[in-house]
Structure formats: C-alpha cells, structure tokens
Amino acid sequence: MSEARASESGFPIKGVYTAADLPPELDSRLGEPGRYPYARGVYPTMYTSRPWTMRQYAGFGTATESNARYHQLLKAGTMGLSVAFDLPTQMGYDSDDAIAHGEVGKVGVAIDSIEDMRLLFDGIPLDKVSTSMTINAPGSVLLLLYQLVAEENGLSGSALNGTIQNDILKEYIARGTYIFPPKPSLRLVADTFAYCRKEVPKWNTISISGYHMAEAGATPAQEIAFTLANGVEYVRAALAAGLAVDDFAPRLSFFFVARTTLLEEIAKFRAARRIWARLLRDDFGAKDPKSMMLRFHTQTAGVQLTAQQPEVNLVRVAIQGLAAVLGGTQSLHTNSFDEAIALPTEKAARLALRTQQVLAYETDLTATVDPFAGSYVVEAMTAEIETAVNDLMDRVFDHGSAVDAIEAGFQKREIEQSAYRFAQQIDAGERVVVGLNRFQIDTEEPYEPLRVDPTIEATQAERLARLRAERDGAAVERALAELRAAAEGDENVLYPMKEALRARATVGEVCGTLRQVWGTYRPSDRF
C-alpha cells in the first residue's frame, strides 16, 4: 500500500478506515442535533426547515456603486448582505486623509460619515435583511452609523439583525488592520457587547475569525485553536467588565474558511463546536444552551483561487461550499471565480450565489441533518483535529493568555511556518494546484476585470468638504469632547460615540479622538 497522505493539519490520512478507528463513546461524543456538545449542529432541524443564510461579500468604490450591487444581489436571491470596506475605513481614516491616498474605494466601499451609510443602504429594508460588516478596529463606529440610518427609517435597534466582525486580536496575528493597543481595543469590544445587549439585542456583537489566519497559511487545526483561544480572551474581557457569561455569549459568532480538502473541513467544523461547547460550559459556567453554541459564518478559501485558468475556481468554490454546508455552517459566502484577478464582476458574483442555490435547492443536502454522523473517516478525523486543537490551545495558554502569546509572536510564528511549508510543497510539485503547477495551458483567455473609478478619492474629498461646511461644527466638537471624556474614564464609549456620529462627525474624527486618548499600536510596541 502506498504511503499515507498527510492531512492539512498534519495527521496521516489512512487509505481505509474501519469501525476500529472510531473514537470511544461515540454516542456521547455526537449527542443529538441541537444539543450539547453540538457536534451534529447547533439546531435540531438544521437545513431541513430552512437553508443556511446565503451571503455575498461585496463593496467597492462609492456607497452609491455598492448600493447598486447590493440591489442586484438581493434581486438574484441572496438572503443577507456582507459589506466590504476600503482600507482607509478599516483603519479609521477619512478618504481625504493624506494616509488614505491611493486606497480609497479599492478593496471595499469608502464610508466616511452617516451620509455615506445612508447611500449604502438606500432602498434596502434593514428590518428584513441580515447585514454582516467586515470591520474590526472601528467596528463599533460602523455599527452605530448603521443603527442611526435605521432610526432615520423608523426602525428601532431591536429590529436589526446582523454581525460586525469586531475581532481585533486576529488583526495582531494575521491581518494588520488594527488601530489601538490591545488593552483599550478589548475594552471597546466589551463596551460593544454591553451596548448591543441593551440597544441592538439581536445583533451578533463579534465574529471571531479564523478565516484570515487560514488565508495567511494556518492549518485547519491552527485556524480553530487560535480562533477559539481568542474567543476565550474575549469572554474573559467581558467577564472582567462585569458582564455575566449568559448575557453576552449567545451573541458571539465565529468566521471560518472552507477549503477544498472536503473531509478534513467537515471534521474541523464538528471539532470546533465540541470544543467551544465544553469551554463555555465547564470553564466559564455557562447555563444557557445558546451560550455553548458555536454559530459560524463561512467563506470559501480565497487563498486557494488562482489567476491561471480562473474558471477552474468555479469548481473549487463549489467543493468548498459543499464542505461548509456538510460541516453545518449558519451562513455562507461563496467567492467569485475572478477574485484572484480583480474585484468580482456582476456576472461572477451572480454565479457565486447561484453555486449556493444549486447546493440548497438541487441537491439533497437539506433533506437530512448531519449526513456524515458516524462516518468512520470523519469521526476519526474529528477526534484527530480535536486533539491537535486542544494541544495547540494548551501551548497558547502556556504563555498565560492569547494576548500574551500574541505578544510573544507564537501564533504568528506558527502560521508563518505552515505557510512556508505549503509554499515549498507547491514549488516542489508535491502539492498539486491545477493550472498553476500542473495541467497548465500555454495561453490564458482574455478577461476584462471590474475597474474602480479613479476619481472616487476626489469625489469623497469633495463630499467631506461639503459635510464639514454644512454641519454644526460646534456641536461636533462638543460631542467629540464628550467621547474623549468617556474614553479617559470608564463609561461605555458607544453612547457618546453615537451622538458624535449623529452630529455628523466623521469616522476619521471619531477614531482620531480615541487615538488621542488610547494611542496607536505598532508591532514593535509591548502590550
């Protein structure tokens, strides 16, 4: 028999699995769907009563352009919106800031003030659509702008449903769009938990993300271990702020990748649910079953898409989406086939959504709950991943906490080593990437990418100048002063922040005020 192939997480994959490979006490490991330890899914009926929420991640250029794309996606049948913000917005800078030059509207939509947010969601029923916003350091700012627009349309916070990513710890590990040092950043996260519990009760206050770590090169076991360790840190921060675990834990959510390694990905999701349920029940004393549920959004693996023969990405995305569904995701974004080249075209985004719709409505995936329960290979892999994740989490906590491990560079170093090993395997041809290192073609077909209007930066600067000229400048200054005082003290900063935004303070002005109090984090800084 040929040598066993290694999984992405490093354990060997056997050529044949039998009942002897099943973990002991399988029935108790599995439980029932919708019940502890949630290996079989967080809801009893899963997709048999309704499919997962179909999202498409979109945002580019101006708020008006992105709004048009959202209407197209809703017309095509998407169930939820997922907003991509440009880099200046993610970093808390206005479009006319010198540091924003050349980046406005490039990787997402530019949002500078409540006026942009009004345009972004113009004509979209915010009480009918679930909105996810991929924003971290200024996540609370964008949520408040969204709430203010909803209030202008007669909707209370209790009518809103959605998620802000708001996961700052993974930014220090893998992504880099941080603003403040970790301690005030964790305070802002805890303030957001408390604010939403009172004001926007159905909102998911954080989406603890392994996706970006996976895109940076993390293995499935590393993705889960480092994400759940960050989750533990957020729970500790909320408890330290005086919140009870069952008051905030039901609104925690997670964000993972789905790769083409179908079986291991299914096992990864099952292991993650088991571990989180145990942590919340046994380590933090959660009583509410919803506190123990690991609910997650999935995005197919952008890092596995290729610019070579991009149509092959349609096949990759379909397999990745299948892995997410079989793994029990609550919502899914399928990448467009052209994302390795440029921002998705309208046709490519529609095809990505159609991929989900085929999975939901043309297959029998939604006919039964957890079809892989009891599978020799999947149950064995679930146990392997669970062991690997627990070992990695122990190594994180050997540093004291996830933050201490980040300070020591542990997670970043582990991910970089995995990424380097993967790159070596691709270069050597040991890891096959169709169209890249095998099955190439001599000439690629021409492709016309979506192009962002190069005048957007000037347009946004003009809008900002007009906003500052028309608003009540004294009212803005008073509101920002109140925000500054709250940041210097211990009151929840979201309440004065909302009033500043209502007075038409900009995203950059709000974040700049907090920078004055909390400082700006640099990688060379000590925590």
Torsion sign over Cα 258, 262, 264, 270: positive
Q: Mean per-residue pLDDT for 114-135?
A: 96
Which pLDDT does position 446 carry in this prediction?
A: 82
Which pLDDT does position 230 carry in this prediction?
A: 98
pLDDT tens, residue by residue, 101-123:
999 998 899 999 999 999 999 99
pLDDT band per the 50, 70, 90 thresholds, residue 527: very low
Structure tokens at 1: 């028999």
Q: Mean of the per-residue pLDDT values for the chain?
A: 95
Please tell me whether residues 476 and 355 are part of one structural domain.
no
Which pLDDT does position 2 carry in this prediction?
A: 53
Residue 41, domain member (yes or no)? no
Structure tokens at 447: 């492709």
DSSP, res 272: H
Residue 490, domain member (yes or no)? yes
Please tell me whether residues 351 and 465 are part of one structural domain.
no
Where b means 16+ CB within 10 Å and e means fewer, 293-310 reads bbbbbbbbbbebbbebbb
pLDDT band per the 50, 70, 90 thresholds, residue 346: confident
pLDDT tens, residue by residue, 251-266:
999 999 999 999 999 9
Residue 189, domain member (yes or no)? yes
pLDDT band per the 50, 70, 90 thresholds, residue 524: low
Q: Which of 393, 428, 463 is the last residue of a domain?
A: 428
Cα separation, 477 vs 497, whole angstroms: 12
Please tell me whether residues 59 and 109 are part of one structural domain.
yes
Which pLDDT does position 525 carry in this prediction?
A: 55
pLDDT band per the 50, 70, 90 thresholds, residue 395: very high
- CA 410 from chain center: how many Å? 22
Residue 168, domain member (yes or no)? yes
pLDDT tens, residue by residue, 15-74:
999 999 999 999 999 999 999 999 999 999 999 999 999 998 778 889 999 999 999 999
Spatial neighbors of 193 by CB under 8 A, at least 6 apart, are: 205, 206, 238, 241, 243, 248, 251
Residue 123, domain member (yes or no)? yes
Print the domain residue range for 303: 49-428
Cα separation, 186 vs 345, whole angstroms: 37
Element (H, E) at 164: strand 162-164
Beta-carbon neighbour count of residue 449 at 10 Å?
12
pLDDT band per the 50, 70, 90 thresholds, residue 79: confident
Beta-carbon neighbour count of residue 246 at 10 Å?
17
Which pLDDT does position 454 carry in this prediction?
A: 79
Say how many domains are in the chain.
Answer: 2
Residue 12, domain member (yes or no)? no
Please tell me whether residues 384 and 510 are part of one structural domain.
no
Please tell me whether residues 234 and 96 are part of one structural domain.
yes
What phi and psi values does residue 481 have, to the nearest 5 degrees?
-65, -40
Which pLDDT does position 451 carry in this prediction?
A: 74
Please tell me whether residues 460 and 411 are part of one structural domain.
no
State pTM to two decimals: 0.93
Please tell me whether residues 279 and 226 are part of one structural domain.
yes
Half-sphere exposure in the Cβ direction for 189 (13 Å, CA): 33
Choice among 220-234, 342-356, 446-460 with the minimum mean pLDDT: 446-460
Does residue 465 surpass a pLDDT of 50? Answer: yes
Share of the chain above pLDDT 70, in %: 98
pLDDT band per the 50, 70, 90 thresholds, residue 159: very high
Q: Strand, coil or helix: what is 12?
A: strand
pLDDT band per the 50, 70, 90 thresholds, residue 3: low
Please tell me whether residues 491 and 411 are part of one structural domain.
no
Please tell me whether residues 99 and 148 are part of one structural domain.
yes
Does residue 219 surpass a pLDDT of 60? Answer: yes
CATH assignment of the domain containing 187: 3.20.20.240
Which pLDDT does position 1 carry in this prediction?
A: 45
Residue 441, domain member (yes or no)? no
Residue 27, domain member (yes or no)? no
DSSP, res 302: G
Please tell me whether residues 467 and 503 are part of one structural domain.
yes
Q: What is the 3-state secondary structure (H, E, C) of 109-159?
A: ECCCCHHHHHHHCCCCCCCCCEEEEECCCCHHHHHHHHHHHHHHCCCCHHH
